[in-house]
Chains A and B, each alone.
Chain A
Amino acid sequence: MKKTIVLLLAVAVFLFGSNAFAFDPIPEDELQVGFVYVGPVGDGGWSYMHDLSRQAVEEAYPGITTSYVESVEEGPDAVRVMETFVRQGFQLIFATSFGFMDQVIEVAEQNPDVVFMHCSGYRTAENVGVYFGRMYQARYLSGLVAGSMTETNTIGFVAAHPIPEVIRGINAFTRGVRAVNPDAVVRVIWLYSWFDPGKESEATMALVDAGADVIAMHADSGAAPLAAEEAGVYVVGYNNDMSGYAPTRHLTAPIWDWGVVTTRVVGQVIEGTWQSENIWWGMDAGIVDLAPFGDMVPEEVRTLVEEERSRIVNGEWDVFWGPVADQDGNIRVAEGKRMSDEELLSFSWYVQGVEGEIPSN
């Protein structure tokens, strides 16, 4: 019971945590913006995409100074890095990994004049906003493509860590697959690593050996698309357009554009209109999208994806509106009901069509 209350509180903070609190405007040529990355910018994935959003800020506001620290461990090091930014006079800090959450709050309490934006977390404060995107919408659309293209009706999913964000993505993808192909199943391999190109490549081959002819992924390197290209199976990338890794096999990829958020926040801080908010934008805002289709994707599939996209963008429908069945076919979300944001954020069960179990549940 106590735990439920804590959970509800956390969600309430997530949803309604915004506070009215005014910050003074900062002239563009005086504003310094710091970025904290969990991986190396050269990972070609998560941290790389966040660094693109830093570059987007520099392009949009040429007078601004930006800087970053890469490969910061999620722990005491993160506190020090953010404090160093503050001491060097940075007035806006983007912390771009979930694991920085406690540390962001800690530093923000000590420095109420500095604005913090934390990516993918749920704790906010007067000077701490959080931002994330509804990647699951793009994943659903990519599932439509994958479901249309599979012939063996087995689709492989190379997944990093069993956390709600990844599970939500697998579920959305699978909903897309099943919407066009009720016989297809999705098989998941957990790597327990965000970043190990060798293992991602090996996992891809293992899925191909198990009969998968389309591979989707939630990991940070391009190793899976490369392996898929070599094995001659289709692949759905992630993070950015990965067709460079799989020129003849890349169907599409759900992609991030964090610059949509960073440039807006920077603009608000310059104008002095920034307020703490929870940004969980969807495809309509452009923070998530699909990479261009590969040539092999037939016209009718493209049309279908376009139709579904406009339904989502216009708010007529969303991926986890009922009915949603779990793996055993039990209806978890009834027709006419919608999964709430808090349910989405703590997703810990597979929808119908995913094979296997979520570890440690």
Chain B
Amino acid sequence: MSVRIRVERRLTQPVWIEAFIPLFSIVMALVTGSIFLAVLGAPPLQAYNAMFRASMGDWLGIRDTLVKAIPLMTAGVGVTLAFKMSVWNIGATGQIIIGALATTAAVRYVYVDNRFVMFWLMFLAAVLAGGGWAAMAGYLKARWNVNEIITTLMLNYIALQLLYYFVYGPWRDPASLGFPMTTPFPPAARLPFLGTGRIHLGLIIALVLGVIFWLVFRFTRWGYEIRVMGESPRTARFAGMDYVKNVVLVMFLSGAIAGIAGMGEVAGLTGRLQHGFTAEYGYTAIIVAWLARLHPLTVILVAFLIGALHVGGEVLQIVMRLPLASTQMLQGLILFFILGGEFFRRYRIRFHTGEKE
């Protein structure tokens, strides 16, 4: 008598599995996290409650979370687009920075004292610069099959050095007593806020982009082609699809969207470019895109949840007096469990009793 375990790929994924598994993973992560919190001497339920209340418990919390989530949503949609085609654009960070630089350049060099005109000038600048930046990697991949993971990663560092160059050099605000930051943007170059909080126009842009690309992938021929090229380049070639052209195009769009995220951060929130602008969340956007299983609308939701995790983590520091490190470990744990849970979504495990077959 022996028990044999067999792993089988699920042929269909029932709705309850789709919903239940991620929830179960999160619960497991929270249970493990609570052991960890208890060891640190923080009552777990109280900690989770504080995290939830601060990030989603009331309108103020939701507002904070939304503001944090705007760039994650936007860049997440951009990354998703490239990933659909199996183009591994991990350069959202650099594209965000370039978008912010281009926005600042637009304000400096072609300023028009009209909110509407100025918005479109900044938008255009961010799109062209962010898109062009990413399209360079796209072109290298299309033309010579140069690995885009590396080129986009390298371009992140180059973008950061460019930022340093400009804020320390030609763009340094003479009124800032020599500190590395640009002149504050005039009011016409600021994105309008929606309502009382700091939620700015960028939220609408993110939502619109999410919906547009959901429609594109669902209903258009081009969207279908991109998916085919992502899943099976060979099939796509036989079907006569232009892989080369589309790699460049997809990278351009992906970078352009990340560039818009950069515009949102400087024109919407900070109102000037300064040294501390790091856009590390460009990497988080990759996690968002994957957790959302490359679904543009789910990206919006997941970005919100990741934003909540971040906002809640700060409250743990304030209320529970836990160091940042402990919330990072908690975040890592949650990701591990969700990743592990995916397995049970895609596969089923069967236990066979009896003699060996």
Contact = CB atoms under 8 A, between A and B. Distances in A.
A122 interface: yes
B54 interface: yes
Interface in B166-218: 168-170, 172, 174-181, 184, 198
A40 B67 CA distance: 24
Contact of A67 (B67, B170, B317): B317
Interface string A1-38: 00100110111000000000000000000000010001
Interface in B256-301: 265, 269-272, 274-278, 280
A84 B125 CA distance: 34
B50 to A, nearest CB: 9
Interface residues of B, number: 42
B201 to A, nearest CB: 15
B122 to A, nearest CB: 17
A71 interface: yes
Contacts of B278: 73
Contacts of B172: 360
Contact of B180 (A70, A75, A163): A163
Contacts of B315: 84, 88
A102 B181 CA distance: 11
Of the listed residues A87, A164, A348, A359, the one surrounded by the most CB atoms of chain B closer than 10 A to its CB is A87
A164 B275 contact: no
B278 to A, nearest CB: 6
A115 B324 CA distance: 25
Contacts, number: 109
Contacts of B271: 102
Contact of A76 (B170, B184, B269): B269
B270 A84 contact: no
Nearest to A190: B168
Nearest to B164: A192
Given A161-B180, A161-B275, A80 B314 contact: yes
B67 A10 contact: no
Contacts of A345: 177-178
A6 B175 contact: yes
A69 B324 contact: yes
B177 A346 contact: yes
Given A10-B175, A70-B323, A75 B277 contact: yes
A73 B277 CA distance: 8
B334 interface: no
Contacts of A83: 64
Contact of B265 (A70, A76, A79): A76
A81 interface: yes
A245 interface: no
Interface in A47-87: 67-71, 73-77, 79-81, 83-85, 87
Given A6-B175, A71-B324, A75-B269, 6 more contacts: A10-B176, A10-B177, A75-B265, A76-B270, A80-B64, A99-B276
26 contacts: A10-B175, A10-B176, A40-B324, A41-B323, A67-B317, A67-B318, A67-B319, A69-B314, A69-B318, A70-B323, A73-B280, A74-B275, A75-B270, A76-B67, A76-B198, A76-B265, A84-B314, A88-B315, A90-B318, A102-B271, A102-B272, A163-B179, A345-B177, A359-B168, A360-B169, A360-B172
